[in-house]
Structure 1
Amino acid sequence: MDGGISLASTIPFKGVKRSCSLNEQNSADMDADMAGGQLGGNRIVFYLARMRARGFSSQEVLSGTGLTEEQIQGFFLGSSAVYRQIISNMIRLTGNEFIGVELGAEFKISDFGVLGYASLSSSTLRQSRRVLAQYCLLNQHIIRPVSTITEKLWLVEILEIHPLDNLIAFAVEEYVSRAMELAFHLTNRYFPVLEMRVTYDAPSDLSVYQERFNCPIYFNQKKNVIRFDPDHIDDPISLANPEVFRICEQQCQLISSKISKRDSLERKVRDMLISRPGNFPPVDDMADLLAIKPRTLRRQLQAEGISYQQILDETRRDLALQYLEYTALTPKEIGFLLGYNDVSNFRRAFRSWTGSKLSDYR
């Protein structure tokens, strides 16, 4: 296994409080979340709170984004540039390249809002995972976890919604650390990671990985893939409550529907494309994904003054520019990620989108 380093330490992670505090969840918190219509936890608000606990102001964390703390309250989805800037700021301010590991360990079920309570009242970890995955886009703004679960295998591939370049390590570390912490608090059982395969270089100091993940890890791999123990997928949730789950899931559906209705169809199509990296389906397939007829999709987009092909081209253009700016990928690799098997076709398309050659951007 090239690029692999096997880690086997049993040191407990100091940043994690090994307690069952969620057994003392205050129902008033749940009522407040539901009354406020907060479906998914606001990730940036979470970052500001955790950085404030470390002595850093909101202004410092938001530096370079053009945003204020007041602007990001409630349901807020920032651009990819906003998330990249905030993550870079947190790493710079703390001087801690492993801040993602710590933040993941500090994430609580309540930080998911009503969706967290749906997860907390699920019957098993499998059901909890399903409901979180169903509303993934509302909580995962820079990555998209894709699970493969069989009787003997549980793999999660971490896909970049937007190119992260050197910040991918933060995203992977935060995701895995958070998954471990949430599963532990949901089930009151230790939740092991069996193996990690990541695309980035090995850090100079592996002690944080040893302390937190305690599993074999292989660096410089082609994909970011995490292997969990399938024997834990049906672990019972300690606070399982079918009636509470039903109410919370209904509330999730209601709030999600309200959010969906206020978005234009153009926005929904763009969000669908961004949430499925490397997948640019024909219009009929997109209509199926949105549960509408192709004719309806075309007609509604026309009424909004845009076509499906325009959305495809603009999304590909924006992603191409981000890949060129934030990664060292070759034009052939970028073209493949954007659905072009022939790099010459990608070059022609890029010139039609921007009026410039690829080399002008590098």
Structure 2
Amino acid sequence: MAATSPEKERQMLGLFLVPGVYMRVLAETVGKLGHNERQLFEGLNFTAEDLKANDSRVFVTDAILMAERALNLAGHQGLSFLLARELRLTVHGTLGFAALTSSTLGDALESVRRYLQLRAPFISMGFSDAGDKAIVTLKAEFEVPHLYHFLAETVAAMLMMLTDQLIDRDSAAELGYDLSAGNLEMIEVHLTGPEPEYFQKFADQIPVTVMYGQQSEMIVFPKPLLQARMRLADAEASKMARDQCEFELQKALKDQGDITFAIRNMLHVMPGPLPSLEAMAERFCVSSRTLKRRLAEKDTTYREVVESVLKDRAIQLLRYTNKSVSEIAYELGYADLSNFSRAFRKWTGKSASEFREDGPDPAPEMGP
């Protein structure tokens, strides 16, 4: 991906920023495990001291680099579970307060789902209904293959630890769930990665059933449990917190600047297949109709933006990897090789094989 200029970087604010407090807690956790946390900051434009400011923010790309370094140093020691434990409710600011004061567990999870991108833009939550089950899905929003399992394990463990702390036991009992023993084994956490060696060390600290080697990252709740009250439910306080979160979200969206540029940059770092117009509209907290209109104001469409990103990715994969054309087509989300071949010829005037044999064209650029 081509480097962006300082001016374009300023346009990437908003949803491309991570609160510095998370990176500070990450560094402190690595230090507690006996490592020199200063290694995490090498070559970055901020220091541990900079992260102490309440309003500090770092680019998501820097946050990912720090997390990769932390994982290399301490991942084998169960960094994900230790970090989840250190990310106490107060660390999450207004989002934590909104969850804390929500009326029910379901309301708390909905607050987290809507505003998670303000705290962790590299992962998103979704909800789906499966009969007597409610399923919370976790999905990577950035191309972070080395970090994906770590991020999913950390976020899932953090959500479950907070659920354990915040749910009202008496209310759960009224719904038929006896939590007096202190566990939530009726909740299942599904993770795609293999069970790590360190898991057994933390298993008795995780109040839910954790299952590795699954098909997707998700948390499965008995649907009635979502109606359980929160221990510190306060409707007025919750509304104030949610209003503040909404203000932060709308400001972040405004700070994205040019909507076309913002979407293109977001698509560039998302894993394939790329999201639909409706999914992207939800990401930007607008209706699909509004997103269409805003793109039309820039004389483009969502399909055109997506195709531009796919073209850039295809060129980069052909130029810098030894992957076969069929592998590249699959990675870009094409189920049919012939569809990819037609698209690539439309973009470049050449077949993918001809392009690779003829050598590189000028590098693709980000931005409108």
Q: TM-score, normalised by structure 1?
A: 0.69
Pick the aligned partner of 2:273 from 273, 278, 287: 278
Kept after mapping to 2: 8 A contact 1:160/1:277: no
Compared with structure 1, are the counterparts of its residues 218 and 281 closer, same or farther at alpha carbon in structure 2 (3 Å cutoff)? closer
Tell me which of 162, 174, 185 is aligned to 1:182. 162
Compute the displacement of 1:41 (Å): 7.5
Residue equivalent to 1:289: 287
> Could you list the runs of 5+ residues in structure 1 that have no partner in the other structure?
1-37
The percent identity for this pair of structures is 21
Contact 2:19 2:56 (C-alpha < 8 Å) held by counterparts: yes
Return the match for 1:230 from 223, 229, 237: 223
Q: What secondary structure is seen at the aligned counterpart in 1 of 2:30?
A: helix
CA separation in 2, counterparts of 1:348 and 1:154?
41
Equivalent position of 1:47 in the other structure: 26
State which of 160, 163, 167 in structure 1 corresponds to 2:140: 160
In structure 2, how many angstroms separate the alpha carbons of the residues matched to 1:227 and 1:324?
Answer: 40
Amino acid at match of 2:85: A
Q: Work out the CA distance in 2 between the residues paired with 1:350 and 1:71.
A: 45
Unaligned runs of 5+ in 2: 1-16, 170-182, 361-368
Q: Which residue of 2 aligns with 1:135?
A: 115
Q: Give the superposition deviation at 1:231.
A: 3.9
Comparing 259-268 with 190-199, greater Cα deviation is found at 190-199
Given that 2:122 and 2:140 are in contact with CA atoms closer than 8 Å, whether structure 1 keeps it comes out as yes
1:74-85 equivalent positions in 2, closer than 5 A? 74=55, 76=57, 78-80=59-61, 82-85=62-65
Q: 1:23 is matched with which residue?
A: none
Question: Matched residue of 1:96: which SS?
Answer: helix
Q: Where does residue 89 of structure 1 map in the other structure?
A: 69
Partners of 2:90 and 2:22 in 1: how far apart? 12
Distance 1:320 1:197 in 2: 32
1:1-362 correspondence to structure 2 within 5 Å: 42-54=21-33, 56=35, 59-63=38-42, 65=44, 67-69=46-48, 74=55, 76=57, 78-80=59-61, 82-94=62-74, 96-150=76-130, 152-187=132-167, 189=169, 190-192=183-185, 194-204=187-197, 206-208=199-201, 210-213=203-206, 215=209, 217-219=211-213, 221-264=214-257, 265-270=259-264, 273=267, 278-281=273-276, 289=287, 292=290, 294-299=292-297, 301-302=298-299, 308=302, 311-316=305-310, 332=326, 335-336=329-330, 338-346=332-340, 352=347, 357=356
Return closer, same or farther for 1:188/1:41 CA change in 2, 3 Å cut-off.
farther
Looking at structure 1, the residues matched to 228 and 317 of structure 2 have their Cα atoms a distance apart, in angstroms, of: 40
The answer on whether the counterparts of 1:50 and 1:103 sit within 8 Å (CA) in structure 2 is: yes
1:247 Cα deviation (Å)?
Answer: 1.4
Task: Give the letter aligned to residue 85 of structure 1.
Answer: L
In the alignment, residue 230 of structure 2 is paired with which amino acid? I
Specify the SS of the correspondent of 2:246.
Answer: helix
Q: What is the match of residue 34 of structure 1?
A: none
Cα offset, 1:132, TM superposition: 1.3
CA, structure 1 residues 143+335, in 2 after alignment: closer, same or farther (shift >3 Å)?
Answer: farther
Contact in 2 for aligned 1:194/1:227 (Cα 8 Å): yes
Code of the residue aligned with 1:48 in structure 2: it is A
Q: Aligned in 2, Cα 1:266/1:187: closer, same or farther, shift over 3 Å? A: same
Higher mean displacement: 43-52 or 255-264: 43-52
Distance 1:130 1:331, change over 3 A: farther
Number of aligned residues: 318
SS, match of residue 156 in structure 1: strand
Task: Please say if residues 40 and 114 of structure 1, whose CA atoms lie closer than 8 Å, have aligned partners that are also in contact.
Answer: no
TM-score by length of structure 2 reads: 0.68
Structure 1, residues 203-228: CA drift from partner, whole Å, max 9, x if none?
Answer: 34551363344636241x43223323
Pairwise CA RMSD: 4.4
